[in-house]
Chains A and B, each alone.
Chain A
Amino acid sequence: MRKVRASIIGFGSVGQGVAEVLLRKDEELKSLGIDLDVVAIADSKGAEVNVAGIDLKAALGRKREFGTVAIDDLTGEDVIKSVDHDIVIETTPTDIETGGIGLVNMVAAFEFGRHVVTSNKGPLALKYRELVEAAKEADRKLLFEATVGGAMPIINLVRDTLAGNEIISVEGILNGTCNYILTRMMEEHASYEQMLAESQELGIAETDPTYDVEGIDTACKLVILANSIFDQDATYQDVDVTGITKVTLESLSLAHDEGYVIKLIGEVKKDRLRVSPRLVPVSHPLAVGGTLNVASVCTDLAGTITVTGRGAGSIETASAILSDIISIYKD
């Protein structure tokens, strides 16, 4: 049995999902020889530290009741630098301008010799190369399956299962909010504005939906795919981005008449990174509805492999984080 001490840095929806999943999967982890203790949890107001292992159930209850787990006046960075542990589960919110505290936390983690498993897109979309170098330097792992497509396996699918294949392209729907809005416009024969309002009411779109509907979120995911799968050194600036705000109901109807649906498609090739609304034949595997994500990986040996799944949600994202944690320790 291998003792693993972890911190959860960022205790919002994803961080709490990780705590819930760790509680639920304790037995399974032990059966794989992993005895995992969370020794610190940090949120924006402070942290709880317990080197003997935090009671996750109590921490989740306290978070729900008081809006924070804070007992000690420590930041996530303080925890990473001062609490002795093996792996940092970095689930702070994405900051696409600077990388934000997520970047600071990851750099600190490698500096102190800790593995990083993350759902935070910002640092990876902005500073991929530096982070990979820092991880290599520290001889630690940097795993980030949760950053692209939530529960839908894509990075690990390509790296492990499709190993040996040359990847020609990846194209797919990587943003559930846009998919939901476009699907609902067609179902309800309603305008973009109406269906945006509906998805905001349901909590599927943010109050400020720019990040999703303008294609920025999809673009960040493409950058991560380009860098990790195609070994590029791409940044957000390299992506040709068009969002869905100009898509009209009439265009959806015209597309329907021709046997197509309109989807916001992200496309990664060696020489092109593009996010744009595209025509997808209704019977094509990429034509999934609702908030689903989907990706088609085009390879030289295996042909085209298509995966689909839930791209967001705390438990779904935590599932990707859990699989990354296991992949570090199972060997």
Chain B
Amino acid sequence: MRVSMDIELKDTPGQLLLALDPISELKGNLKSIVHHHEERTPRSAIPVQLVFEIEPANLEVLIGRLKENGIGVARVDEKRFTAHGAVLLIGHIVHTDIQDTIDTIDNTGFAEVVNISLSMPQIDMRSSASLKIDAVGKNELHEAISVLRQVAIKKDLLVIEPIEAEIS
């Protein structure tokens, strides 16, 4: 997921490295860094804004390591959902407990169904639905679709997924 973070550095040499090393150690991918060297926070530290991609599970670890290194963490803003995908379902979608189907995605913690359009031509005929799924990253979107695929097998639903190029 993408995280934007405001940190505070002491005005002594090597501080920036102490802030950036933990990100690379935890396989984070730095997207931007803005270093306001001429500014001072009320605590007379130098404010730095970072934007990086990191595995959600590693974010807490990272904050811990920054604090161990004496770096102040003033603000953390998770841009939670960076991956968006659409999936179609065909079958007896409502009668096989649509709420339960949606819950299997929502309960992952890394993906959510954010929109659903349903088309039910006639009673007893198969209905069709399009689901929009948001996820914290591409891998998580893949994982969410694969979770949905498993549920669909049990409920005899056909899942129509995007082509690979769309979600990688």
Residues in chain A within 8 A of chain B (CB atoms):
169, 171, 242, 246-248, 250-251, 253-255, 257-258, 260, 262, 265, 267, 276-281, 284, 286, 296, 304
B166 close to A254 (CB less than 8 A): no
B163 close to A250 (CB less than 8 A): no
B90 close to A251 (CB less than 8 A): yes
Name the A residues within 8 Å of B148 (CB-CB). Answer: none
Nearest CB of chain B from residue A63's CB, rounded to whole Å: 42
A171 close to B163 (CB less than 8 A): yes
Name the A residues within 8 Å of B161 (CB-CB). Answer: 276, 278-279
A262 close to B88 (CB less than 8 A): yes
Contact with A along B127-139 (1 / 0, CB 8 A): 1111010000000
A246 close to B88 (CB less than 8 A): no
Nearest CB of chain B from residue A255's CB, rounded to whole Å: 6
Q: Within the assembled complex, what's the spacing in Å between the Cα atoms of A255 and B91?
A: 15
A277 close to B158 (CB less than 8 A): yes
A286 close to B163 (CB less than 8 A): yes
Nearest CB of chain A from residue B163's CB, rounded to whole Å: 5
Name the A residues within 8 Å of B160 (CB-CB). Answer: 247, 251, 255, 262, 276-279
Q: Within the assembled complex, what's the spacing in Å between the Cα atoms of A174 and B119?
A: 29
B86 close to A247 (CB less than 8 A): no
CB-CB contacts below 8 Å: B58-102 with A: 86-88, 90-91
Nearest CB of chain A from residue B144's CB, rounded to whole Å: 15
Q: B14 at interface (Cβ–Cβ under 8 A)?
A: no
Q: B109 at interface (Cβ–Cβ under 8 A)?
A: no
Q: B121 at interface (Cβ–Cβ under 8 A)?
A: yes
Q: Within the assembled complex, what's the spacing in Å between the Cα atoms of A250 and B127?
A: 8
Nearest CB of chain A from residue B81's CB, rounded to whole Å: 17
Q: Within the assembled complex, what's the spacing in Å between the Cα atoms of A263 and B162?
A: 10
Name the B residues within 8 Å of A242 (CB-CB). Answer: 158
Q: Within the assembled complex, what's the spacing in Å between the Cα atoms of A280 and B117?
A: 18
Nearest CB of chain A from residue B80's CB, rounded to whole Å: 22
Name the A residues within 8 Å of B126 (CB-CB). Answer: 246, 248
Q: B164 at interface (Cβ–Cβ under 8 A)?
A: yes
Q: B17 at interface (Cβ–Cβ under 8 A)?
A: no
A278 close to B162 (CB less than 8 A): yes
Nearest CB of chain B from residue A225's CB, rounded to whole Å: 15
Instruction: Look across to chain B and name the residue whose beta carbon is closest to the beta carbon of A253.
Output: B119
Nearest CB of chain B from residue A129's CB, rounded to whole Å: 27
Nearest CB of chain A from residue B94's CB, rounded to whole Å: 13
A251 close to B88 (CB less than 8 A): yes
Nearest CB of chain B from residue A254's CB, rounded to whole Å: 4
Name the B residues within 8 Å of A286 (CB-CB). Answer: 163, 165
Q: Within the assembled complex, what's the spacing in Å between the Cα atoms of A209 and B106?
A: 40
Nearest CB of chain A from residue B125's CB, rounded to whole Å: 8
Q: Within the assembled complex, what's the spacing in Å between the Cα atoms of A21 and B55?
A: 58
Give the contacting residue for B90; candidates A248, A260, A279, A304; CB below 8 A: A248
A279 close to B163 (CB less than 8 A): yes
Q: Within the assembled complex, what's the spacing in Å between the Cα atoms of A238 and B121?
A: 36
B117 close to A254 (CB less than 8 A): yes
Instruction: Look across to chain A and name the residue whose beta carbon is closest to the beta carbon of B156.
Output: A246
Nearest CB of chain B from residue A193's CB, rounded to whole Å: 13
Q: List 16 A-B contacts (CB under 8 A).
A: A171-B165, A246-B158, A250-B127, A251-B119, A251-B160, A254-B129, A255-B160, A258-B132, A276-B160, A277-B158, A277-B160, A278-B161, A281-B166, A284-B163, A286-B165, A304-B165
Q: Within the assembled complex, what's the spacing in Å between the Cα atoms of A11 and B1?
A: 59
A257 close to B164 (CB less than 8 A): no
Give the contacting residue for B163; candidates A247, A251, A253, A265; CB below 8 A: A265
Name the A residues within 8 Å of B127 (CB-CB). Answer: 250
B165 close to A254 (CB less than 8 A): no
Instruction: Look across to chain A and name the residue whose beta carbon is closest to the beta carbon of B157.
Output: A246
B158 close to A279 (CB less than 8 A): no
In the complex, besides A248-B90, A255-B88, A284-B163, 13 extra interface pairs with C-beta distance below 8 angstroms are A171-B165, A246-B90, A246-B158, A247-B160, A251-B160, A262-B88, A265-B163, A278-B161, A279-B88, A280-B162, A281-B166, A284-B166, A296-B165
Assess A251 versus B162: contact at CB under 8 Å? Given A257-B117, A258-B86, A279-B88: no
A260 close to B128 (CB less than 8 A): no
Nearest CB of chain B from residue A87's CB, rounded to whole Å: 38
The 10 closest A-B pairs by CB, nearest first: A250-B119, A251-B128, A250-B128, A254-B130, A279-B162, A258-B86, A246-B158, A278-B163, A248-B128, A277-B160
Q: Within the assembled complex, what's the spacing in Å between the Cα atoms of A258 and B162?
A: 11
B164 close to A260 (CB less than 8 A): no
Name the A residues within 8 Å of B121 (CB-CB). Answer: 248, 250
